[in-house]
Amino acid sequence: METRETLKHFIVNDLLSGRNGADIGYDDDLLLSGVINSLEVVRLVTFAEKKFKTRIPPEDVTIEHFATIDTLATYLESRAG
């Protein structure tokens, strides 16, 4: 499964299960629109670190990197390279 599909699957099925708006697009804003909250960001970081075998430093948990599924996938792929 591609990075962005893996992230979307986790967000939709684990973070948003049972909530409205679970059908999000790859370029939909996750943070500023309130799709996910700060606790869910922590869960997303933990998931991404385990799934993609990387460490995400606290200073990298920013709106720029976590704004959308696409921006997060790009960030994670840049860390893998």
Kindly list the domain boundaries of the chain, sorted by start residue. 3-11+25-80
Please check the confidence at residue 48 and state whether its pLDDT lies above 80: yes
Stretch 56-79: mean pLDDT, rounded? 96
Q: What is the pLDDT of residue 18?
A: 62
- Which stretches within the chain are classed as H helix? 3-10, 38-51, 63-66, 69-80
From the candidate CATH numbers 3.40.50.2300, 2.60.98.20, 1.10.1200.10, 1.10.3720.10, the one assigned to the domain spanning 3-11+25-80: 1.10.1200.10
Question: What pLDDT was estimated at residue 23?
Answer: 77
What are the pLDDT digits (tens) for 14-27?
998 867 656 789 99
pTM listed for this prediction? 0.90
% of the chain surpassing 90 pLDDT: 78
**Cβ neighbour number for residue 78 with a 10 Å cutoff:** 9
* pLDDT score for 80: 81
